[in-house]
Structure 1
Amino acid sequence: MSAEATFSRGLEGVIAAESALTYIDGQKGILAYVGIPIEELAEHSTFEETAFLLLHRRLPTRSELHQFHQELVQYRSVSAPVLEIVQALPRQTPPMSLLRTAISLLGHFDLSADDVSPQALREKAIKLISQMATLTAAIGRLRNNQELIPPDPALSHSANFLYMLTGTKPDVTAARVFDVLLILQADHEFPASTFASLVVASTLSDVYSAICAALGALKGPLHGGANEQVIKMILEIGEPARAAQYIKEKLAKKERIMGFGHRVYKTYDPRARILKRYSQQLAQQAHDARLFEIEEIIEKTVIDALGAKGIFPNVDFYSGTVCYYLGIEPALLTPIFAVSRIAGWMAHIIEYLADNRLFRPTTRYVGPPLGHYIPIDQR
């Protein structure tokens, strides 16, 4: 290893690639996709338009967006053998493991799986964005012993997902809130899952292998599993009157409060600020503000204690209750993260492979000095 090489645990602070996709200012709490602030996308865009933005690094025209939507609709149906194999797997298999297996199976039925040309990658991106949603909805129903629901071509990407999952066509509010959730989670620069996908893609392996690597990383509780832990904590607290003391006891034991703090943001996560508003809106619509009130108390208690250290709510804190109010069980929160993030994963893969360089970092050796082999009878 070169004497000038810098060592950084977990590659923190290391610039491993250049990207024109996502801009983050963690000190000021700024997040933008291709130069457009996340607040504006959440207010005016749709997930389908945002996915196009990430894949093409520009906003679509009306006709381009219509064509993109039609292509997503075209790919919604998953081949029967894939669903049959997923259905045959043990019911207790974690949803993320089922999803990873299902994506791997898709690769077996793609005769051009190894084609990583730009055109092929864009087509596979549309297919994976569409079928990640179909597979996640199918997994949600299978784990509850429910019949699978075929996609409805008349619905948007987000509305169709909720329909395939719940069996009920969502109202306008539910469809819009879920669409915003997908927008907010569509990309976030270079977290572990995105990096894992690029490490695999840089070898020129097939894109299904790269996405399986991303899913494997996202499955880890330090990356994608936090939102599930947040909603479980809120449900465990149960009543607003118990929230402050519950959190204070955890803080006194120096236990981590899930949904707070971020490796990048040292202020309020802009995605959490948006989701907080929608969580409140859904609570009011459901005439059940209990969980939202618990969240508000948790937020105030943690910020009072740790805000000076840069610990604030992140995207996981409010995404759990948003999904809960939409009737989505906690076990599906991380797969739903993948339903959104597949757009970012594929956008990064397409961007990186346009000027590919194999990832090959080095390690700093800390083992014993150079010596000699000792015969076994002399040890």
Structure 2
Amino acid sequence: MEERLSTREAAELLGVKPATVYAYVSRGLLGSRRDPSGRGSTFDAAEVVALARRNRREAAAAPAGELSVRTALTLIEPDRYWYRGVDAVALATTRPYEEVAEWLWTGRPAPGAHFTAPPELLTAARRAVAALPEHSGPLDRLRVAVAAAAAADPLRFDLSEPAVLGSARNLIPTMVEALPMAGAQPPVGARPTAAEPVGPREPLARHLWVRLTARPVDPAAAGILDLALALLVDHDLAASTLAVRVAASAHAHPYAAVSAGLGALEGPLHGAAGRLAHRMLVEVLERGGAAPVVADHLRAGRRVPGLGHRLYGGEDPRAGALFARLAGLDAAAPALAAARDVVAVTARQGRSLHANVDLALAVLTVSCGMPAEAGETVFAVARTAGWIAHALEEYQERPLRMRPTGHYTGARPPQPLP
């Protein structure tokens, strides 16, 4: 039996007046039930305690006007970053993507973690993706796959932690397996086949590999793809992650929150960096050196892709981890040399810019015969796990707290009717 509190008891626990308790009810922050005696209302003790905790956390928040979101997920320092207090690079280099995602979600080890796409979600997602125009990009397909999977999940509105985690474990493989195989685009409206060239129990990275390149699965290269997924799981409050938290603040279900992240990711200032770095490396290889390519970028007033990161003083630790693994892959040698040439040329010009993860990811995609947009796909799939983790955190906060006040700069009223 749940413990019920009177209005007076709830007010004392919250440290507010009884009238404020009813204000919480009217704003949807507390539920109430009429007392059987008819003399007032009663409140669920656990719900009151949870609200009191949220209020205490918010009292310790950043000063008014400063955008700051408390998170226990990722800490970024000048030369490294951490997932729940564990060195993120060390974790990603020793654990597969699925286990890293589980650690970020729960803070508990999950040896052998495996994600499986439910047939009903996968069928809906594949049909929706197959109906898109042939020229559709990977983010178009992922957004449609997420929307179709949401429609196929009648329990998506359950925001309890077990339900959200279940949705996450279903959604990520559904996103991957809804994508067409590399080199084969099904006819518009065709019903996709369920045949898979990799076993159902294979790691997610291998299922993603066959959708990014027509080359046979290379275990070493697929392992580097898995490393990239694990390194990209989360990275503080990027624009897409903030969009996810805003959606979650409105108690949007996890599929909708992920859709918000994908929408922000498609912005050219956020998700397109990997594509630009890929094309730059291809051009460096074609022209035999980085100097003329870098010169063209500078002459046009463009940033050199894949260089610099505002959160790190030196090399992006994610790039360093990927470069270290790519150095052992024979097929990556030309693209890796091209990337190092880009860094060296810019350094000779006195520009102290270091490689970031987009440049390292471009080395992987160029080396493995993947298209320019492959980096966006890897980033979106990887970051979905982080978005879910941030949504879980936001569901525990006061709803609709991310509601800034607009500063009106228009014509002062009254104005004549148009």
Tell me if both proteins adopt one fold, taking TM over 0.5 as the criterion: yes
Amino acid at match of 1:51: A
User: What is the TM-score normalised by the length of structure 2?
Assistant: 0.76
- Is the 1:31–1:37 contact (alpha carbons within 8 Å) kept by the matching residues of 2? yes
Deviates more, 1:191-200 or 1:254-263: 254-263
- Other-structure match for 2:157: 114
| Structure 1 residue 171, shift from structure 2 partner | 3.4
Residue 324 of structure 1 and its aligned partner are, at CA, apart by 2.5
CA contact (8 A) 1:86 1:98 kept: yes
SS at match of 1:79: helix
2:29 corresponds to: none
Equivalences for residues 188-267 of structure 1 within 5 A: 188-239=235-286, 241-267=288-314
Whole-angstrom CA distance in 1 between matches of 2:308 and 2:182: 29
When the two structures are superposed, what TM-score results if normalisation uses the length of structure 1? Answer: 0.84
In the other structure, the counterpart of 2:343 is 299
Spell out, residue by residue over 1:345-377, the C-alpha distance to the aligned partner (whole angstroms, 9 max, x if none): 101111221224311012333334x3322255x
2:99 is paired with a residue whose SS is: helix
State whether structure 2 residue 105 is matched by structure 1 residue 55: yes
CA contact (8 A) 2:156 2:254 kept: yes
Instruction: Give the counterpart letter for 1:371 in structure 2.
Output: P
Contact 1:24 1:30 in 2 (8 A): yes
Q: CA deviation at 1:94?
A: 2.0
Q: Which runs of 5+ in 2 are unaligned?
A: 1-62
Seen in structure 2, the aligned counterparts of structure 1 residues 202 and 155 have a Cα distance that, compared at 3 Å, is same
Q: Structure 1, residues 167-206: CA drift from partner, whole Å, max 9, x if none?
A: 6662331221111111111110110111111111111122
How far residue 231 of structure 1 moved from its aligned partner, in angstroms, is 0.8
Establish whether residue 289 from structure 1 lines up as the match of residue 339 from structure 2. no
Aligned position for 1:133: 176
Deviation at 1:207, TM superposition (A): 1.7
Residue deviations 1:97-130 (CA, integer Å, cap 9, x gap): 1210111111111011211121211111111222
Q: Structure 2 residue aligned with 1:184, among 221, 231, 236?
A: 231
AA in 1 matched with 2:240 = S
Whether contact under 8 Å (1:32, 1:38) holds in the other structure is yes
Q: Distance in 1 between matches of 2:68 and 2:127?
A: 40
SS at match of 1:289: helix
User: Which letter does structure 2 place at the counterpart of 1:296?
Assistant: R
**1: CA distance, partners of 2:161 / 2:350:** 46
| CA deviation map 1:260-312 (0-9, x unaligned) | 12232232111111122233332xx22x633222211101122343544xx32
Alignment pair present for 1:361 and 2:404: yes
- Match of 2:116? 73
The reply on whether 1:87 has 2:130 as its aligned counterpart is: yes
Tell which structure's C-alpha radius of gyration is larger: 2
Equivalent in the alignment of 1:21: 73
Which region of structure 1 is more displaced relative to structure 2, 244-253 or 139-148?
Answer: 139-148
Distance 1:79 1:268 in 2: 39
Q: Does 2:85 align with 1:38?
A: no
Relative distance call for 1:73 and 1:82 in structure 2 (3 A) is closer
Query: Does residue 139 of structure 2 align to residue 96 of structure 1?
Result: yes
Deviation at 1:30, TM superposition (A): 1.3
Contact 1:19 1:351 in 2 (8 A): yes
Q: Deviations over 1:103-162 (max 9, x none)?
A: 1111111011211121211111111222222123x2655548797643622312212332
Residue from 317, 333, 349 that aligns with 2:375:
333
Distance in 2, Cα, partners of 1:143 & 1:201: 34
Partners of 2:213 and 2:357 lie apart in 1 by: 24
Q: Secondary structure at the match of 1:187?
A: coil
The aligned counterpart of 1:316 is: 358
Aligned-pair identity in percent equals 29
Taking a change above 3 Å as real, the CA distance of residues 144 and 180 of structure 1, as seen in their structure-2 partners, is farther
What residue identity is the alignment partner of 1:289? A
Q: 1:77 to 1:340 in 2, by over 3 A?
A: farther
**Per-residue deviation at 1:257?**
0.8
Residues 159 and 169 in structure 1, CA contact (< 8 A), matched pair in contact too? no
Counterpart residue number, 2:209: 162
- Give 1:277's aligned residue: 324
- Inter-partner Cα distance in structure 2 for 1:267 and 1:225: 22
Q: Which residue of 1 aligns with 2:31?
A: none
Structure 1: any 5+ residue segments left out of the alignment? 7-13
- Number of aligned residue pairs: give it: 350
- Show structure 1 runs of 4+ deviating over 6 A: 144-148
- Per-residue CA deviations over 1:298-352 (Å, capped at 9, x if unaligned) read 01122343544xx322110110121222332222321221111111010111122
Cα distance in 1 for partners of 2:122, 2:406 equals 43
